[in-house]
Amino acid sequence: MFSIVGMFRGTTPQLIAVFFSTIGAISDGMHYGWSAPFLPVLEGENSPVTISHSDVTWLETIYLIGGLAGLPVTIFCVDKLGRKASILLAAAVSLVAWILIAVANNVWYIYVARFMTGLSGDVAFVAAPMYIAEIADKNIRGFLAGTIYVMMLVGILVVYAVAPYAPFYVSSIIGAGFVIIQLVVFPFMPDSPYYLLSKNKYDKAKEHLKRLRSSGNVDKEMEEIAGAVKRQRSERGRPQDLVINKGNRKALVIMIVLNAAQHFSSISVMLMNLHSILKEAESTYISSEIAGILFSALMLIAATIADVICDKFGRKALLISSSLLSGISLLVLAVYFTLKNTGYDVKDLSWIPIAAVLIYAAVFKFGLGIIPIVMTAELFPAKVKAMGMTLADFSYLLFGLISVELYQKLSDAFYLDLPFYIFSASTLLTAMFSWLYIPETKGRTLDEIQFILKGEPVPERKPSSQLEKVENGIEDKDITLTHISKSDTSQDDVPVK
């Protein structure tokens, strides 16, 4: 029987390194969810910083604009400075941003801070997954790759729990605390052997790999890494290959649509405006502050479960069911606001918007909120993976910006029901798109996925590995599943977003 303890045996150095490489993501999550609990505070009578109504929109969009500006910075940093140095640079920028927010007596301090955090978050969410993929043992790589997203959701929960009940500067102190821990401890963690070897630092790469492995003999793994680095240098794809090649073109369409679908299912709007949305709903059952805490807690739980079971139930099933249920939840919310706006007495129905957003939190993160992240690394072949993932990252930020702008404009010009009708329709269409166009990648190697994307027959696999022999019923008394996992058939690729 598969042993969880066996899977993690001898991986303590990796677990420690991954923890300190991602602890800054708690701070990034706090920045991402910052506007939802703080904008009502800043618009209140006792606001520490005077803001206008137009500032509300800009304080949300400037964060996403900073993320777009961070794309070329990210590409430069991870290659020239390295993954570890890029993580530390992002942490330093985040720390400066928290200081600016804490001492702000003018809205321009917060503008600058929000732009900086968008930029630093983009760098961190590219550099950290790359670092994790390059230090992790293949048996736990999938689990470790999801750590950064769990940390981000922890950050959202923290800011939702603290901001409404503490002075303005307290959240900055907490966020800065996580970043300071990272800046103090992470420099002592091992660097990526892949990156060091790519810079022709063989002895240093071997030394750092030994620190990450419980076994002192890493010669064989060093040979594998050297071969991978050599192959990656030779496999430089052209930008036009993303469009000319049928499989790459389909992968690009899938990722752009899924990244658009995530935001047009209202996730950024929800995270940045949840408290004001629930205040407008005028629910008398629980406060918007408590609902915000429950919202972020449900997302955290759902994302953790989905990360564990997506290899068992498949990406497509989770994506379709999540999109359908998210669309229905948003439709219910839109109908409630329509009733309220037309003068209908919704006092006895004020529990509905609370229930709708909490159900949305759970069902969104159970599929639509996590599967696009998983599929990003599966769909693009190695030679165009960097370009494909960069375009996917760009589309993620761009559609986030568009969705927030659309919500603000439509809710001001009409009412909250119209944008949520649009978000609901978009999410339901995503379910249809997923059913008709997206292939199931569960249990497929990266090479097999490329055949599927091209519409070509998948070559029959021979049970060459131990895991395949066990799965196909070939008896081998010396084989146990204690140290074997699905990741034995995967490559060193993890998602960016």
pLDDT tens per residue, range 389-425: 777 778 888 898 899 889 988 988 888 889 999 999 9
The residue among 175 and 255 whose pLDDT is bigger is 175
Residue 445's pLDDT is: 59
Q: Give the best-scoring range by mean pLDDT among 68-72, 429-433, 466-470.
A: 429-433
Q: Determine phi and psi for 12, rounding to 5 degrees.
A: -55, -45
- Of 121-125, 242-246, 344-348, 474-478, the poorest mean pLDDT is in 474-478
| 189 touches 20 (CB < 8 A) | yes
Q: Indicate whether 143 belongs to any domain.
A: no
Closest CA to 270 of 124, 346, 376, 156: 156
| 441-454 pLDDT per residue, tens | 776 655 677 777 77
How many Cβ atoms are within 10 Å of 224's Cβ, its own excluded? 11
| Cβ 291 vs Cβ 270: under 8 Å | no
Q: What is the pLDDT of residue 133?
A: 74
Are 13 and 211 contacting, i.e. CB atoms less than 8 angstroms apart? Answer: yes
Q: Tell me the percentage of the chain whose pLDDT exceeds 90.
A: 23
Q: Is the dihedral of CA 388, 393, 399, 401 positive or negative?
A: negative
In a domain, 421, yes or no: yes
Residue 378 domain-assigned?
yes
Residue 34 backbone dihedrals phi, psi, to 5 degrees:
-60, -45
Amino acid identity of residue 494, one-letter, is: V
Task: Tell me what pLDDT residue 483 has.
Answer: 34
Angstrom distance (rounded) from CA 331 to CA 427? 10
How many other CB atoms are found less than 10 A from the CB of residue 54?
9
Which region among 12-16, 300-304, 357-361, 464-468 has the lowest average model confidence (pLDDT)?
464-468
What is the tally of structural domains in the chain?
1
C-alpha span between 213 and 11 (Å, rounded): 7
pLDDT above 80: residue 488: no
Higher pLDDT, 260 or 145: 260
Q: Which of 40-49, 106-115, 216-225, 316-325 is the least confident region?
A: 216-225
Calculate the dihedral angle through the C-alpha atoms of 497, 80, 487, 205, rounding to the nearest 10 degrees: -150
The rounded distance, in Å, linking the Cα atoms of 436 and 386 is 27
Question: In this predicted model, which residue has the larger pLDDT, 476 or 355?
Answer: 355
Point out the least confidently predicted range of 211-220, 315-324, 463-472. 463-472
Residue 411 lies in a domain: yes
Q: Does residue 61 fall inside a structural domain?
A: no
pLDDT digits (tens, 9 = 90+) for 58-102: 888 898 889 888 888 887 888 788 889 999 999 999 999 999 999
Q: Is 184 exposed, middle or buried (0-12, 13-18, 19+ CB in 10 A)?
A: exposed
369: pLDDT confidence band, cut at 50, 70 and 90?
confident
Please tell me the predicted confidence (pLDDT) of residue 479. Answer: 33
Domain contains 324: yes
Task: Give pTM, 2 decimals.
Answer: 0.74
Within-domain flag for 409: yes
Quickly state the pLDDT bin for 496 (edges 50, 70, 90): very low
Range from 142-146, 163-167, 218-222, 487-491 that averages highest in pLDDT = 163-167
Give mean pLDDT, residues 466-488. Answer: 38
Q: What is the mean pLDDT of the chain?
A: 80
pLDDT surpassing 80 at residue 236: no
Which pair of structure tokens corresponds to residue 429? 């269409």
Confidence of residue 309 (pLDDT cuts 50, 70, 90): confident
Q: Is residue 328 in some structural domain? A: yes
Chain-centroid distance of CA 406 in Å reads 22
Q: What is the pLDDT of residue 417?
A: 87
Residue whose tokens read 């993690």: 8
For residue 150, the model assigns a pLDDT of: 83
**Residue 162 pLDDT more than 60?**
yes
Range of the domain at 409: 242-459
pLDDT for the residue 386: 63
pLDDT digits (tens, 9 = 90+) for 19-38: 999 999 999 999 988 988 88
Residue 229 reports pLDDT greater than 60: yes
Residue 106 predicted with pLDDT over 50: yes
Give the whole-angstrom CA distance, residue 211 versus residue 195.
15
Predicted local distance difference test score (pLDDT) of residue 179: 96
- Distance set, CA 310 to CA 142, 299, 304 (Å): 11, 16, 10
29 half-sphere exposure, CB direction, 13 A CA radius: 26
Give the residue among 488, 436, 483, 496 at the shortest CA–CA distance from 463: 488
φ/ψ of 14, rounded to 5, equals -70, -40
The pLDDT score that the predictor gives to residue 141 is: 64
- DSSP H helices, 188-287, are 193-198, 202-212, 219-234, 241-244, 246-263, 267-281
Q: Are 120 and 74 in contact (CB under 8 A)?
A: no
Q: The CATH number of the domain where 295 resides is what?
A: 1.20.1250.20
Matching residue, tokens 């599966």: 378
How many residues belong to the chain?
497
Question: How would residue 485 be classed by pLDDT, with cut points 50, 70 and 90?
Answer: very low
Pair 117, 31: CB distance under 8 Å = yes
